[in-house]
Amino acid sequence: MSETETKPERYMRPLSAESRGNAPGRGRLKGRKILVVGGGQRTVDAETDPVGNGRAMSRLFAREGASVIVADMNLTSAEETVTMIMNDGGKAQAVQADISQPADITRMVTQAHMTLGGLDGLVLNVGIGVGPLGLEGANTDDWDKALAVNLRGPMLICKDALPLLEDGASIIFISSIAGLVAGSRLPSYDASKAALGGLMRHVAMEGTRRGIRANIVAPGLVDTPLGRLATQGRPSRGRSPTPFGRQATGWEVAYAALFFMSDEAVYVNAQTLAVDCGMTGIS
């Protein structure tokens, strides 16, 4: 490159109305009854926090006509999501549950089923990353804690929910591209997210007898409060290049989940969709 030539600027994908969460609903989930586990969000800076994946999904599903149970271990955060939904004219109720506690899982699923008068949609938006980076700092306590939430919790939820779900229901696991490629530098997180694929496929297999589908949405780098918190602990995360020049928004993850939840995906089963602007495919 000569001195007079300039290096082209990286393309940045502009934000659409869907990316910003401003697009109107289209009735794609009219009459549906959905439990979103992990529908609250972490607060890092209340004044500047973007929307998290769980909150975006809860709001979008309600906007598309569903009645939503928003479950979270932080009841206040779940209630904040419900307030947003109701202010938009939607229907929602909050439930407190810690999915590392089996009794909470059974209560949550039973309560959601009774409150809505049935269930035909389930989203498992759960996951934690704990402990020092790398194998050298790994220990059994952090490993067990991560797998209790990231893998055992979703398994127990599906165990309780599958008999209650209506025929033709949709189950969506929110995973991560860390389950597809190495990158988080947290062995327990990477391993649990990879194992989630095996759980999803088993749930899909059992569900086929009743037309119940199970799929995974695997986000890449997403600008959420939890993502910003992760960047504080590992600054290199925020400097990672992306093909589209920016991180995803929580709404963009929510629209991928909306596809799986809707009848538009009625013949899509046991699949993993990476929402990462191609990072896992072309990097």
Q: Backbone dihedral region of 117: left (phi > 0), alpha (psi from -120 to 50 degrees) or beta? A: left
Answer yes or no: are the C-beta atoms of 95 and 69 closer than 8 Å. yes
Q: How many whole angstroms separate alpha carbon 282 and alpha carbon 186?
A: 23
Q: How many whole angstroms separate alpha carbon 29 and alpha carbon 61?
A: 7
Task: Please identify which of the residues 11, 189, 255, 267 carries the catalytic annotation.
Answer: 189
Residue 255 catalytic? no
> Strands of 33-37's sheet, edge to edge?
91-96, 67-72, 33-37, 119-124, 165-174, 213-219, 272-275
Active-site residues, by number, are: 189
